[in-house]
Copies of this chain bind each other. A is one copy, B any other.
Amino acid sequence: MADEIERLPLLRLTAESRSSIKDIVVREFPLTVILNNQEVVTLLCSPANLEYLALGFLFSEGLLKNKEEIKKIIVDDKRGVVRVETRESRELAQDVLFKRLITSGCGRGASFYNAADAAGQKVESKLQISAGAIFALVSDFQHRSQVYKTTGGVHSAALCDREKILVFSEDIGRHNAIDKIFGECLLQDIATKNRIIITSGRISSEILLKVAKRNIPLLISKSAPTNLGVKLASELGVTLVGFARGRRMNVYTHDRRVVTGGK
């Protein structure tokens, strides 16, 4: 965690007083991801688990299909570069890369408004969980959000089963936090199917799609969803929970997976 924050001098002002203090801010680090010698993207991220972020990003964007494909990963954290080489050094056509980069931009995700792209992605899972178990997971999630507590500047994400948090990550970007989870799952052979993602961030269509691609049947957010997030959750078979705070939550879609009661 030490690398993820920095202590800076600043002036604390109220209407009446003025004091010079030192306080911590979260670090922002530019990470360039290179796949088979082609620069794919520069992500602004928290400088931890760069390898997981690079892999998770490539995985989420469909540029990496599975672990077996990976031949070599070289992390240069001084220069902020992760190089990934695959066994078959397929050349990404410039226009494929170009299109991908449009959709991975600020408005990343344009492509999936195309029904053909979303089709075949429907999440099938018999997972069921009690409301009480969700409140317990969210409470644990809250307690683990360290960097946020000290700096107010990061998002958290977690992969869980019905009982506990399995993988936890933090990043200044809500996309990055989730990509770090999926990168870790890919590299460490941790299954995502039938499991649960919790995020501190908003559920936009892009987040929903990223999670549905990993066959996650239940997505829980402490924040709000957008209407497109809800629409895609409904179409793709994902149970979407928003505003999970304290002992209360909103279930927007496929509520059969959440049963009343529980611990």
Contacts and interface: CB of A to CB of B under 8 A. Distances in A.
B43 A106 contact: yes
Contact of A248 (B14, B30, B152, B230): B14
A198 to B, nearest CB: 16
B110 A26 contact: no
A122 to B, nearest CB: 20
Contacts of A109: 30, 42, 44
Contact of A251 (B6, B13, B94, B229): B13
Interface in A187-244: 202, 204-206, 223-230, 243
A215 B127 CA distance: 54
Interface residues of A, number: 73
B13 A151 contact: no
A73 interface: no
Interface in A247-262: 247-252, 255, 258, 260-262
Interface stretch (A64-72, A85-93, A95-103): A95-103
A11 B153 contact: no
A225 to B, nearest CB: 6
B30 A247 contact: no
A16 B98 CA distance: 51
Given A102-B41, A109-B44, A252-B10, A26 B230 contact: no
Contacts of A255: 11
A168 B251 CA distance: 32
A107 B251 contact: no
A167 interface: no
Contact of A226 (B25, B42, B101, B243): B25
Q: Which 8 A-B pairs have the closest CB atoms?
A: A42-B110, A28-B226, A153-B224, A43-B107, A28-B228, A152-B224, A11-B251, A42-B107
16 contacts: A10-B251, A11-B251, A11-B258, A15-B262, A25-B224, A25-B225, A25-B230, A26-B224, A32-B110, A42-B109, A44-B205, A101-B102, A105-B105, A153-B224, A153-B226, A172-B204
